[in-house]
Amino acid sequence: MVDSKIITGVAGYVLEDVPHLSDYIPNLPTYPNPLQDNPSYSVVKQYFVNVDDTVAQQAIIHKNSPRGTHFRRAGPRQKVYFESEDVYACIVTCGGLCPGVNTLIREIVCGLYYMYGVHKVLGIEGGYRGFYCQNTIPLTPKVVNDIHKRGGTILGTSRGGYDTSKIVDSIQDRGINQVYIVGGDGTQRGASVIFEEIGRRGLKVSVVGIPKAVDNDIPVIDKSFGFDTAVEEAQRAINAAHVEAESIENGIGVVKLMGRFSGFIPLYATLASRDVDCCLIPESPFYLEGPGGLFEFIKKRLKENGHMVIVITEGAGQELISESLSAMNNQDSSGNKLLQDVGLWLSQKIKDHFAKHQKMAINLKYIDPTYMIRAVPSIASDNVYCTLLAHSAVHGAMAGYTGFTVGPVNGRHAYIPFYRINETQKKVVITDRMWARLLSSTNQPSFWNPKDIIGESKERTQHQKPDGEIHTVIS
User: Which residues are part of the catalytic machinery?
Assistant: 215
Per the rule left: phi > 0, alpha: psi between -120 and 50, beta: everything else, 220 is: left
Contacts of 458 (CB under 8 A, 6+ apart): none
- Sign of the dihedral through C-alpha 160, 128, 422, 192: positive
Asked if 258 and 215 count as a contact pair (C-beta separation under 8 A), the reply is yes
Q: Strand, coil or helix: what is 278?
A: strand
Indicate the residue type of 257. L
What is the helix (H) or strand (E) element at residue 355, kind and residue range? helix 342-356
CA–CA separation, 276 and 438 (whole Å): 10
Asked if 21 and 206 count as a contact pair (C-beta separation under 8 A), the reply is yes
Instruction: Work out whether strand 13-17 and strand 412-417 pair parallel, antiparallel, or are unpaired.
Output: unpaired
Which residue in 192, 194, 162, 183 sits closest to 226, CA to CA? Answer: 183
Asked if 124 and 130 count as a contact pair (C-beta separation under 8 A), the reply is yes
Supply φ then ψ for residue 312, to 5 degrees: -130, 140
* CB-based burial label for 57 (10 Å; 0-12, 13-18, 19+): middle
Indicate the residue type of 439. L
Contacts of 437 (CB under 8 A, 6+ apart): 271
How many Cβ atoms are within 10 Å of 247's Cβ, its own excluded? 12
